[in-house]
Amino acid sequence: MFEIGFHTDAFNSSYWSFEQCLQWARDNQVRYVECGAIDGVSWIHGLGYQPHIALWEDPVLLRKKMDRYGVQFSQLDAAFPLSLPEGATLGVEYALHAIRWGKLAGCPRIDTTDDRARPPGMTDREALDHMRRIYRQILAVAEAYEMVVNIEPHGYYTTKPEFMAEMLAFADSPYLRMNMDTGNTFIAGQDPVAFLDRFAAKVSHVHIKDVSESLAAAARGELTGIAVSHCAIGEGVNADNIRRCVQRLADAGYDGVLSIECEGQGGPMIERSLAWVRELIDSGQALHANRSNV
């Protein structure tokens, strides 16, 4: 069964607070939210102009506030680029803090990724070995907390299927999974459907992201990821891939969240996206049910 969520990145440009995002979720009957984790103090967040959480906030009190809005976390975004040399210091501590905080906040998973380029001075083999050590260190704690660590296709290594396959085998653990992203795989020059097919058994969370025709023409194969869709989902050149991915997920029995990643424009664009995804889910689940009854 599919559930719908959204990433609060949608309201970065609107300078909303996290609580405003909770209000939007309640008003639009969206039960799941994903946001970034700030490990420290940020003036823009402290003034209420950033729609993410800070790890100095009390997770239990925030969870109680979210309960009042009828909203819960689907994932906490802790995607510091772990392929960088600093991944072994800053990245590990950031992920571990997010795991501990997320457990108390009722969040079941965190999101991680790599950098958009090969780390300077490293070969691919060195970078992969570097990340293997990092993920094993993170997973030792994640398993104790029963927290899923997702790897998202977003960077130089994670958007290449052969490297993603190796990364997902860094440890023999049910807590090492993948966050599928329809937009990042497309903008990186991959076929999102084929990418999903290869790793479907590892998927525990999904980002639904479209790509505008102009951005695809200018940057497909040049970028490894984009923060959000800059057109309403369903109105870009990736819409058919999204439809096919959702159907593949339905056929595979995916039981989880489809998290919308779209520029919100203060509400209108993400609301069009939400309506499109809801219609897609309704039709996809109906089709899957019909197939199951044949």
Tokens of residue 264, six digits: 């919100």
pLDDT on residue 293: 40
CATH label of the domain that carries residue 48? 3.20.20.150
Supply the pLDDT for residue 285.
Answer: 55
CA distance 96 to 140: 10
Q: At what angle do helices 124-145 and 90-105 cross, to 10 degrees?
A: 30
> Which pLDDT does position 294 carry in this prediction?
40
Q: How many domains does the chain have?
A: 1
207: left (phi over 0), alpha (psi -120 to 50) or beta: beta
pLDDT score recorded for residue 60? 98
Domain that holds residue 111: 2-292
Question: What pLDDT does 38 receive?
Answer: 98
- Amino acid at the residue 50: Q
* Encoded amino acid at 280, one letter: L
Mean pLDDT by runs of 10 across the 294 residues of the chain is 97 98 98 98 97 98 98 98 98 98 98 97 98 98 98 98 98 98 98 98 98 97 97 98 98 97 96 98 63 45
Query: What was the pLDDT predicted at 112?
Result: 98
Q: What is the pLDDT of residue 291?
A: 52
Q: Which residues contact 80 (CB under 8 A, 6 or more apart)?
A: 86, 87, 90, 91, 94, 95, 112
